[in-house]
Amino acid sequence: MGSAEGTLTPAARWDITTPARAGRLPGVSLAGFRDRTTSPLDLPVIPYPAVTLAIDLGNGLIVDSARDRQQGGSVVFGLSPGAVRARGQNIDALQIRLSPVIAHTVLGASLEPGEEIISLDALWGRGGTQLLEQLRAAASWDERFAIAEAALARRYETGRAVDPEVSYAWRQMVLGQGRIRIEPLAAEVGWSRKRLWARFRSQIGLSPKRAAQLIRFDHAAHRLAAGHSPGSVAAESGYADQSHLHRDVLTFTGVTPTAVSAAPWLAVDDVAWTAREPVEGTKKTSRNVSP
């Protein structure tokens, strides 16, 4: 006799909890994820133009990287993690997305290109362990969000900020949805192309060209997930043609645009990461994203 979870299609897999009020730091988003099932999880991670902290509150999360590296516990995802998979069972986790401009200051370092994942303890040491203990002892998601935001704010206040020119360049890339030329951008900030390239790469973790490609890919991936055809997505996202989109998607994910359009990883974005007006209380909702 099959389990009820084996026929779980209309029921939601995740309880997703989000802060109701705007956070203390711009460029920071938080969401709590609790698995409502006991079935194994195996999700390919879709790259996103932010550094992501996945704080494991229940000892159930395992992350496999493209380079046959496995990491359990609380993990930091780089900007372009490649073919990374999140696995586990009975997942209970706090996920934090950081603009790379904020991440450099908060984390104290940028992940090198090709460094898909790193443990939070490797970056924060005892501070990471203490944060995890506080989060696990918290009585509610509201309390967890407050603890996490306070920890991020403390590190932000004492951390080293990126150069204003680098911050400006990133902001222009985001505003232009990745469709921007690097040479005019360098001229705007009064730097040579070579200097912008070097400082941006050291502080953001990707070259300016690769960062712009990632931002453009993210826009395209969400349009695909919203049901738009690859042809129309390619045209509106600034790709030369559908084949160009196909190559970019394959480079970032290892799968086709059709596969990305149905990716469970993206299915929660309109719940966990959509822009929200601050309201009283904590918003909680559920969504079926079973792989």
Taking only the tens place, the pLDDT of each residue in 141-191 is 999 999 999 999 999 999 999 999 999 999 999 999 999 999 999 999 999
* Listed range (113-127, 133-147, 261-275) with the worst mean pLDDT: 113-127
Tell me, yes or no, whether 32 and 137 share the same domain: yes
How far, CA to CA in Å, does 46 sit from each of 26, 102, 238? 23, 21, 20
Tell me, yes or no, whether 89 and 128 share the same domain: yes
Residue 285: per-residue pLDDT: 44
Question: Domain tally for the chain?
Answer: 2
Query: Does 271 fall in a domain?
Result: no
Q: Are 192 and 239 in contact (CB under 8 A)?
A: no
Give the residue with greater pLDDT, 77 vs 97. Answer: 97
Q: Are 96 and 152 in contact (CB under 8 A)?
A: yes
Q: How far apart are CA 96 and CA 76, in angstroms?
A: 9
Tell me, yes or no, whether 181 and 149 share the same domain: no
Q: DSSP class of residue 245?
A: H
Tell me, yes or no, whether 107 and 199 share the same domain: no
Take residue 197 and report the two structure tokens written for it. 């390239």
Q: How far apart are CA 157 and CA 93, in angstroms?
A: 25
Task: Reduce the DSSP state of residue 214 to 3 states and report it.
Answer: helix
Tell me, yes or no, whether 58 and 118 share the same domain: yes
Tell me, yes or no, whether 104 and 120 share the same domain: yes
Residue 2: per-residue pLDDT: 34
Radius of gyration of the chain (CA): 19
Q: Are 18 and 283 in contact (CB under 8 A)?
A: yes
Tell me, yes or no, whether 13 and 147 share the same domain: yes
Take residue 143 and report the two structure tokens written for it. 């309390």
CB-based burial of residue 185 (10 Å sphere; 0-12 exposed, 13-18 middle, 19+ buried)?
buried
Query: Does 288 fall in a domain?
Result: no
A 10 A CB-CB count for 150 gives 13
168: domain range?
A: 164-261
Q: DSSP class of residue 83?
A: S
Query: Does 290 fall in a domain?
Result: no
Q: DSSP class of residue 45?
A: P
Q: DSSP class of residue 44?
A: E
Tell me the per-residue pLDDT of 40-71, one tens digit each, with 9 for 90 and over: 888 888 999 999 999 999 888 888 876 657 77
Tell me, yes or no, whether 143 and 253 share the same domain: no
pTM, rounded to two decimals:
0.87
